[in-house]
A and B are shown apart, each in its own frame.
Chain A
């Protein structure tokens, strides 16, 4: 792996609100070893593609969201608010925040910046250090009561490295519907880091649609801290990236919270899509339900690593994890590793994994009703995707995600 020094040298001098974070990130990058295949977590990653990522410069350049995106941009939601996040400008410029949403004060920001990351043990991670080193803007919001839905568009410029960072802090009993749409441009890299802190009894419906384009790269770290009786549900869809790595880490700090994670990844051509999830119960009575689906075509590869940790304190936890994979071409590859680490004895933990192609008998059933085999396969795939897509926050319906997926 080429070292990151050259890339670091190309960065602008630390400045702005995240100046100290930038310094820390750069320091960390010079000290930590860049990932290679001997690291368990990077065992299957195409290191060549990762190297490409570091050849892209970080600089300020105007961009607009109409910028030839892989997904047709629809009108902003009528009852919610759309924020556009890019590396260059303050996302809250010219925006009136509706009731329930407010910017974090300087003090609150100091208290919360990086706190959830630390809880999720993200501090040491290389992609997080990249984000720390380069992000100069951030969106930091506090949610009180029932906030209107937020649509967050993460845009990236072609031929450059685009870092974005977001923090949400939910007060007690707050509720939030958040839909993030990350769109890759050609020859681009996007580093996205989001921290969400759910206070007691708060609720978050989090959707993440990440759609890339030719030679686009995505490194996305999602850090979630859940206090008791909070509910967090995440639905991720990713496709189209040359290399994408989605890493949601969830910590139930005192247990007794509900987490629901659904993921769908569809890889084509020579793409490599990865989802690494890590869920830890630091208290009793926690609940997690996870379903990860992958489909790989052409010469592509889908990777899933899911860790569920149940330490001694986490009695009466209830965890279930299922990884379902479709291998749709002879040269594609599926790698999955659902992992359980359990110490508490009074728990219910189960996981399962399947890898196969479309079921012969299901295809036969449809064909025997006069549906052509191509159409039958399409129908089955649609069903496979729809199970996850239907769980995205409602605002996602306006985006034509399903057809984008099916267009393969």
Chain B
């Protein structure tokens, strides 16, 4: 079959059903220099400390080299060809779902996303009751009752500058890595959460419901602070496919958990991953790190990574507090030409700190899926324990699954256990399910879902159900 022509056709035509028609009111020239940073800071009306923070980061960034140790093999990014500031974009409202790409609606249907949500995602005008803004307002009132602050980081910079100044850049320093420095210099927007002492946040916070979220842009920055004995669960992203014209996404997420506080951070990432031939797609280079600063504090990362052409992220925990707990649960699925290099770092500093890592990688098509993680026991991590499990599933003989676990111990009274295995969907299992009348693709998806169960169990309810379907959808047509 001559596949060349239809593919070319699709590639050459612009995406018909674009979500957003950009009516940019204001933007600055392409490129990055000190003036651009001053301009960004000025436009956002930021206090001086933040401008200095950005400038310092920028100067660091200039001295740094783009890393290539992960051998991800992406074309060189021209950092002077990016627009680093654009004023909030207005978007065209659509009258009804009929105007939306039917393929996309089909995807929504398969994912089981509720109608009102579908409308919101596709920018269709929704009735007042379901309007996301009104939902968000209601949420905001409820949160305020408990003293929880949940707003965009730009808002927080102006309203709570002292908290921002105290915490920003303390978990991920401005010179941490190339992309984190770049983010620190030019970050656009993101979420800010502050949970006061002793408060158990009354609901799961989601990046969805933040008002004024607008377009967070390429350089998202999130800061979550949980004061003593508080609890919060934050959800980022969604299962719906997200399209974006920006190729590079370099976000930074910082979490701070004080004594006995607990933060649960869940991500579902389904950015555009390029077409079947690996053309296009997002580069998702993220720095996520949490510090368990207080005694018995806990940070738990769970993630389902299915999108992006290249995913490069290692959500980490620095376990400083005595008896602090770090967790990492991850499912990374790659198909076609996707590349995912993901894992975690568990850095045990405090005595009796504990960490658990469960990572499931599924590689299909011609993709590459790597687990890269570090478990480090510092000299003072007396009685610390770690357990890691990294399983890979290979679908087809062109995909690769790599495991690079770095293990380092300087404390004899600590213990580290790591295990990894590789498997595939066996003919026998398939036959068993098929002989019971279960369709081929459904059987595959059942097995994948079973493989990922340990991780799905850690996801918030609504995410878990969607994530399951998302994997099935992503694997469609890749088997057999």
A positions within 8 Å CB-CB of B:
40, 312, 315, 323, 325, 327-357
Within B445-470, the residues touching A (CB, 8 Å) are none
Question: Does B15 sit within 8 A of A, measured CB to CB?
Answer: no
Inter-chain residue pair count (beta carbon < 8 A): 116
Q: Are A342 and B401 in contact, CB atoms less than 8 angstroms apart?
A: yes
- Residues of B within 8 Å of A327, CB to CB, are 409-412, 414
Q: A328-B412, A351-B420, A353-B417 are in contact. List 5 more A-B contacts (CB 8 A).
A: A330-B412, A337-B406, A338-B418, A338-B420, A345-B424
Quick check: A342 and B405 within 8 Å, CB to CB? no
Query: In this complex, which of B392, B395, B400, B417 has the most chain A Cβ atoms within 10 angstroms of its Cβ?
Result: B400
Chain A residues positioned under 8 Å from B409 (CB to CB):
325, 327, 333-335, 355
Complex partner residue of A354 from B377, B379, B418, CB under 8 angstroms? B418
Q: Which of B380-410 contact A (CB under 8 A)?
A: 392, 394-410
A-B contact pairs, 18 of them (CB 8 A): A40-B69, A327-B411, A329-B412, A332-B412, A333-B408, A333-B409, A334-B407, A335-B409, A336-B407, A338-B405, A342-B392, A343-B399, A344-B394, A345-B397, A354-B417, A355-B377, A355-B409, A357-B413
Q: Which residues of the partner chain B approach A348 to less than 8 Å between Cβ atoms? A: 422-423
Taking a contact as CB atoms under 8 Å apart, the answer to whether B415 and A354 are in contact is yes
Q: Is the CB of A342 within 8 A of B394?
A: yes
- A355 near B398 with CB under 8 A, answer no
Q: Is B421 an interface residue (CB 8 A)?
A: yes
Residues in B neighbouring A339, C-beta threshold 8 A: 402-405
Does B395 lie within 8 Å of A355, measured CB to CB?
A: no
Closest CB in chain A relative to B87 CB, distance in Å: 42
CB distance from B346 to the nearest CB of A (A): 13
Most B Cβ at <10 Å: residue of A40, A335, A338, A340: A340
Once the chains are docked, how many angstroms separate the CA of A40 from the CA of B246?
A: 32
Partner of A352, one of B404, B415, B420, B424: B420
A197 to B419, CA, bound (A): 33
Q: Are A340 and B401 in contact (CB under 8 A)?
A: yes
Tell me the complex Cα distance, A343–B406, Å: 21
Which residue of B401, B415, B419 contacts A351 across the interface (Cβ within 8 Å)?
Answer: B419
User: Closest A-chain residue to B418, C-beta based?
Assistant: A353
A344→B396 CA distance, assembly (Å): 8
Tell whether B416 is near chain A: CB-to-CB under 8 Å. yes
B421 contacts A357, C-beta separation under 8 Å: no
Q: Is B397 touching A340 in the complex (CB atoms < 8 A)?
A: no
* Dominant SS among interface residues on chain B: strand
The 9 closest A-B pairs by CB, nearest first: A345-B394, A356-B415, A357-B412, A355-B416, A353-B418, A327-B412, A349-B422, A352-B419, A355-B409
Bound Cα distance from A345 to B397, whole angstroms: 5
What range describes how many residues of B lie at the interface? 35 or more
| Contacting residues, chain B, for A347 (C-beta < 8 A) | 394, 422, 424
A314 closest partner in B (C-beta): B397
What sequence of 0s and 1s flags, for each residue 418-447 of chain B, a beta carbon within 8 Å of any chain A beta carbon?
111111100000000000000000000000
**Complex alpha-carbon distance, A336 and B401, angstroms:** 20
Complex contact A355–B397 (CB within 8 A):
no
Q: Provide the residues of chain A in CB contact with B397, threshold 8 Å.
A: 312, 315, 343-346
- List residues of chain A with CB within 8 A of the CB of B421: 349-350
Contact between B394 and A337 (Cβ–Cβ < 8 Å)? no
Q: Report the minimal beta-carbon distance from B468 to chain A, rounded to whole angstroms.
A: 23
| A312 x B398 contact (CB < 8 A) | yes
Min CB gap A243→B, angstroms:
19
Contact between A353 and B414 (Cβ–Cβ < 8 Å)? no
Q: How far is the CA of A355 from the CA of B412 in the complex (A)?
A: 8
B412 touches A342 (CB 8 A): no
> Smallest Cβ distance from B117 to chain A, in angstroms?
37
Q: Are A353 and B404 in contact (CB under 8 A)?
A: no
In the complex, chain A residues whose CB is within 8 Å of the CB of B400: 341-343
Q: Which residues of B contact A352 (CB under 8 A)?
A: 417-420
B408 contacts across to A, CB distance below 8 A = 333-336
User: Which A residues are CB-close (under 8 A) to B377?
Assistant: 355
**Among the interface residues B398, B407, B423, which one has the most CB atoms of the partner chain A within 10 A?**
B407
Asked if B416 contacts A345 (CB within 8 A), the reply is no
Supposing A315-B397, A347-B422, A354-B415 touch, asked if A337 and B407 sit within 8 A by C-beta, the answer is yes
CB of A345 within 8 A of CB of B404, answer no
**Residues of chain B contacted by A350 (CB below 8 angstroms):** 419-422
Q: A333-B410, A343-B400 are in contact. Are A353 and B405 (CB under 8 A)?
A: yes
A323 to chain B, nearest CB (A): 8
A12 to B422, CA, bound (A): 51
Tell me the minimal C-beta distance from A42 to chain B in angstroms.
Answer: 13
Contact B416 A354, beta carbon cutoff 8 Å: yes
Q: Give the chain B neighbours of A340 by CB distance below 8 A.
A: 392, 401-403, 420, 422
Contacts of B414 in A (CB 8 A): 327, 355-356
A118 to B: closest C-beta gap in Å: 23
Which residues of B are found within 8 Å of A341, using beta-carbon distances? 400, 402
In the complex, how many angstroms separate the beta carbon of A35 from the nearest chain B beta carbon? 16
Q: Is the CB of A356 within 8 A of B416?
A: yes
Give the residues in chain B near A312, CB-CB below 8 Å: 397-398
Which residue of chain A has its CB nearest to the CB of B417?
A354
Residue numbers in A under 8 Å from B403 (CB-CB): 338-340, 351
Give the chain A neighbours of B406 by CB distance below 8 A: 335, 337
